[in-house]
Structures are given as structure tokens and as C-alpha cells.
């Protein structure tokens, strides 16, 4: 099965679950409104299979989409799109290790207009809640002590 077929199939399943009201719908975005989306983050700041500077970040119509040119193997992947992640009631991101510290700084700190396109920075839920779970190394480049242990 190709990545495109897999994304179509998964998108169909999600639509069925929305139709049968197993998953509710966001009144704002018309996207499925998951209770919780749990994410990791790569050292490049990617979340799900939403990679920095990739056109997949602009996908506004589909709930599930695919890429065939991931910079990190495997090249073919399916992913929830940004509007779906932003529509969740809760988004939790679990990040550990020093290799992620710079991306965490760029994703969370007030870094000015320099890095707004980092995927990990773009997942702020529209009405829901975003919680970062970081270990000390991942949090080591944060500007201020806005974290709780």
C-alpha cells in the first residue's frame, strides 16, 4: 500500500468515527477534536511527520495526509495535519535529551520573528491546552525558569 493510499484509508476511518460521534468535531475548525494528542519532537523540531519548511505544513483541507520525501527515514509517512493537532482538547509533547534542547528553546521561548515556522512551535491548540513534558537536558536552553519540576 502506498503512503497516499494509507493516508486515504486512515482519513476514511477517522471520518467514520466522527460521523458516528465517537470523536467529536471542533466547532471552530470542523476538524476532529481529539481529547488528547500525545507527541514527541525530533531534534529538528518536527512533530508527527510535520517537518520544518515542508509543504505538508500548509495542508489545510485534509485531516490525514502523506509525504514521500521525509528528511528522516522512512521517506514515506502518513501524518495528522496541523489543523487536526491544533483542534485537540489537549496536546502533550514529551521531549528528552540534550539533542532537543535548541529546538525546545526555539519552540517555547520568545525568540522574536526568527523561528515561527518550527513545527513544534506551530502546534498551539486553538482553544485546547498544550503541555510540554521535558527532562532537565531538553529544558537546558530555555531562557527563563517557566517550568515546574
Ligand X SMILES: O=C(O)[C@H](O)[C@@H](O)[C@H](O)[C@H](O)COP(=O)(O)O
Between CA 38 and CA 31 the distance in angstroms is 17
Comparing CB distances to ligand X, the nearer of 41 and 56 is 41
Stretch that binds ligand X, among 22-30, 41-49, 56-64, 136-144 (CB under 6 A): 41-49
Minimum CB distance to ligand X, residue 147 (Å): 18
- The distance of closest approach from Cβ of residue 24 to ligand X in the complex, given in angstroms and rounded to an integer, is 26
Nearer to ligand X, 14 or 67 (CB): 67
Comparing C-alpha atoms, which of 111, 124, 148, 141 is closest to residue 39?
Answer: 124
- Contact predicate 56/79, CB 8 Å: yes
User: Within 74-133, which residues bind ligand X (CB under 6 A)?
Assistant: none
Q: What DSSP string describes 41-64? A: --TT--BTTB-TT-GGGG--S-SE
Any contact of residue 41 with ligand X (CB under 6 A)? yes
Stretch that binds ligand X, among 29-37, 38-46, 84-92, 137-145 (CB under 6 A): 38-46
- Nearest one of 57, 35, 47, 64 to 129, comparing CA atoms: 35
Q: Which is nearer to ligand X, 26 or 138 (CB)?
A: 138
Instruction: Residue count of the chain, please give it.
Output: 149
Q: Which is nearer to ligand X, 41 or 104 (CB)?
A: 41
The C-alpha atoms of residue 68 and residue 7 are separated, in whole angstroms, by 12
Q: Which residue's Cβ has the minimum distance to ligand X?
A: 40
Give residues in contact with ligand X (CB under 6 A). 40-42, 49, 72
Amino acid at each position: 500500500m502506498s503512503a497516499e493510499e494509507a493516508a486515504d484509508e486512515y482519513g476514511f476511518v477517522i471520518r467514520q468515527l466522527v460521523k458516528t460521534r465517537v470523536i467529536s468535531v471542533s466547532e471552530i475548525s470542523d476538524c476532529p477534536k481529539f481529547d488528547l494528542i500525545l507527541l514527541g519532537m525530533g531534534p529538528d523540531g518536527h512533530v508527527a511527520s510535520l517537518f520544518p519548511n515542508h509543504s505538508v505544513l500548509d495542508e489545510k483541507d485534509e485531516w490525514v495526509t502523506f509525504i514521500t520525501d521525509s528528511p528522516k527515514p522512512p521517506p514515506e509517512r502518513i501524518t495528522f495535519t496541523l489543523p487536526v493537532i491544533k483542534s485537540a482538547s489537549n496536546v502533550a509533547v514529551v521531549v528528552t535529551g540534550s539533542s532537543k534542547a535548541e529546538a525546545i528553546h526555539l519552540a517555547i521561548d520568545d525568540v522574536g520573528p526568527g523561528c515561527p515556522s518550527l513545527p513544534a512551535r506551530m502546534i498551539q491548540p486553538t482553544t485546547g491546552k498544550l503541555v510540554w513534558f521535558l527532562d532537565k537536558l531538553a529544558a537546558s536552553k530555555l531562557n527563563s525558569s517557566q517550568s515546574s519540576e
